[in-house]
Structure 1
Amino acid sequence: MNETLSVLRGACAYEFKMQFKRPTVWVAMVLVELFMLGIMSRVQGFTDVVAHLKQFPILRVVVYWTDLLNYILPVAFGVLLADRLQRDKRTHIDEILTVTPGSQTARLYGKFLGATIATAIPIVLLFFVGIGVIIAQTGSFVALPMALATFATVVIPGLLFVGAFSVSVPAFIWVPLYQIGFVGYWFWGNLYQPKGIPTLSTTILTPAGGYMSLGFFGTSIFPVAKANAIQGSASLVLLIALALLVVLLISKLQQWQRARM
């Protein structure tokens, strides 16, 4: 057990350091964030709303800001994580790790956690910049604990879900194909308003967080018509459980694949 935890911590720390230092991660995330803010600034009345935040319930403002970040940014987040395993293959690091003592499953979990946390940092920074603006405009410091609650329940489960699939699944799928498929999935499975075409966007399998947002806080910008706290909790637990499960399954598939070579 101690050896497994040591491998997990070591892999997590290494992956975090490598992903955090990648200029591509910061440049891409900042560009997407600026694009998102640029689009929002062109929405009629948006700047007026920002200038008069005191007129709105503080919880609704915080939840709205949380949902906005979870609307588009996870797309860039997933795309940036998709090449993590392929880079190990290109540099032959995977061959070294294969013969290194220690649990391969723990190493993949560490890779998933470290890379996911590092890639999420630009999102976290923008989120709290926005919360700072809300506090400055409203003078209400209660927005901070509200922000911690919304980020923990709406954003984090979705990022873990996206991170798990994006780090591990490309082990068996061509990275560009996964990235294209993931972008399509995000808009179809999270943002698409049902109009005759089957979609996951109204189910608890939506990492955008609509069920948590509406179920826990009573408001959401996502196409979820009704949700209560029980459904929000179910969605949260399911997303995290699936994230952990897919990493475990991919690890076992990798071990099976190596055993057949």
Structure 2
Amino acid sequence: MSLFATFLGALKYEFRMQVRRPWLWITMGLIQLIILGFMFRTPGVLTMIQHLKGAPIVATTAYWTNIVNYLLPVAVAILIADRLPRDKRTRVQEILTTLPGSAAGRLWGKYLGSTLATLLPILIFYILGILVIFVQTLNAYVFLVAIATFATIILPGMLLVGAAAIAIPALIWVPLFQFLFVGYWFWGNLYKPHGIPTLSDTILTPAGGYMSRGFFGVTVFPVDRASAGQGLLSMLVLLGLAALIMLALNGYQQWQLRHQ
């Protein structure tokens, strides 16, 4: 079986299995309700939503993209973290190693399949917000901007989060990773630098602040200034780190197989 066929089969299987998990939709739905609750409890937000017609369409769309990316990556990491440990616990990994096909293809398929499935409820939530903007503005340009903001602000960071959530629990206890990731997200993405060192104002933050500020001129994250070049660099670094993590995980699994 070719590497691509193995990869595609694993991707389809992981996507179907992850998207059918009730906890995926329950967890995402609860966090989305929390996000909406905070939004509507903030003074002036409801009035602003009702008067979007006079607001810049690019800035409005970018702000909505930032809001979607504010807390939901935490849910992505938590929901993906058990993928490899579950296979090991149920002995599925042992069965897979005896089957023909590329182990690397299976690993990359597992990573992308589970990550894309976990992104599906986020995408639906995002599209609903874009539809609200369209209804208020009647400007179809919002759909083109939405594709650009999702692809540049949300997707690179989510791919890095997915890679970390697949790889790190192969080394440490899953609940410990989930606890540490929640702390990391608030410290390394949402915390405005003030006395305590943080990654939140660097190109390493997967929240997408550099891409949002550099490409679209606005962000809710603690990135005060960023050029388009810095936004592009941040995006490439995030994607590169995701690839490096998965390559390292594949090497680690191969090392484990050789020493069994």
TM-score greater than 0.5 by the shorter chain: yes
| 2:227 alignment partner AA | N
What's 2:148 paired with? Answer: 149
What's 2:59 paired with? Answer: 60
Tell me, yes or no, if structure 1 residue 140 matches structure 2 residue 122: no
Question: Does structure 2 retain, via aligned residues, the 8 Å contact 1:66–1:154?
Answer: yes
| 1:40 alignment partner AA | M
What's 2:224 paired with? Answer: 225
Question: Which segment is superposed worse, 209-218 or 94-103?
Answer: 94-103
Per the alignment, in what secondary structure is the counterpart of residue 120 of structure 2? helix
TM-superposed CA distance for 1:103, in Å, is: 1.9
What's 1:205 paired with? Answer: 204
What is the alpha-carbon distance in structure 2 between the residues aligned to residue 257 and residue 95 of structure 1? 12
TM-superposed CA distance for 1:215, in Å, is: 0.5
1:19-42: CA deviations, max 9, x gaps? 011111011111111111111110
User: Within 5 A, what are the aligned runs for 1:26-175?
Assistant: 26-175=25-174
| 2:192 alignment partner AA | Q
Question: Does structure 2 retain, via aligned residues, the 8 Å contact 1:205–1:239?
Answer: yes
What is the alpha-carbon distance in structure 2 between the residues aligned to residue 247 and residue 173 of structure 1? 16
| 1:175 alignment partner AA | V
What is the alpha-carbon distance in structure 1 between the residues aligned to residue 194 and residue 103 of structure 2? 44
| 1:76 alignment partner AA | A
Unaligned ranges ≥5, structure 1? none
Moved beyond 2 Å, runs of 4+: none
| 2:64 alignment partner AA | W
1:74-107: CA deviations, max 9, x gaps? 1111111101111112221111011222221221
Question: Does structure 2 retain, via aligned residues, the 8 Å contact 1:112–1:168?
Answer: no
Aligned length: 260
What is the alpha-carbon distance in structure 2 between the residues aligned to residue 54 and residue 10 of structure 1? 45
| 2:158 alignment partner AA | L
| 1:204 alignment partner AA | I
Per the alignment, in what secondary structure is the counterpart of residue 186 of structure 2? helix
What is the alpha-carbon distance in structure 2 between the residues aligned to residue 40 and residue 180 of structure 1? 25
What is the alpha-carbon distance in structure 1 between the residues aligned to residue 50 and residue 240 of structure 2? 40
Tell me, yes or no, if structure 1 residue 251 matches structure 2 residue 244: no
TM-superposed CA distance for 1:258, in Å, is: 2.6
TM-superposed CA distance for 1:259, in Å, is: 1.7
1:105-145: CA deviations, max 9, x gaps? 22111100000000000000000100000000111111110
Identity over the aligned pairs, expressed in percent? Answer: 52
| 1:203 alignment partner AA | T
TM-superposed CA distance for 1:6, in Å, is: 0.9
Per the alignment, in what secondary structure is the counterpart of residue 2 of structure 2? helix
What is the alpha-carbon distance in structure 2 between the residues aligned to residue 235 and residue 180 of structure 1? 26
Question: Does structure 2 retain, via aligned residues, the 8 Å contact 1:105–1:252?
Answer: no
Normalised TM-score (structure 1): 0.98
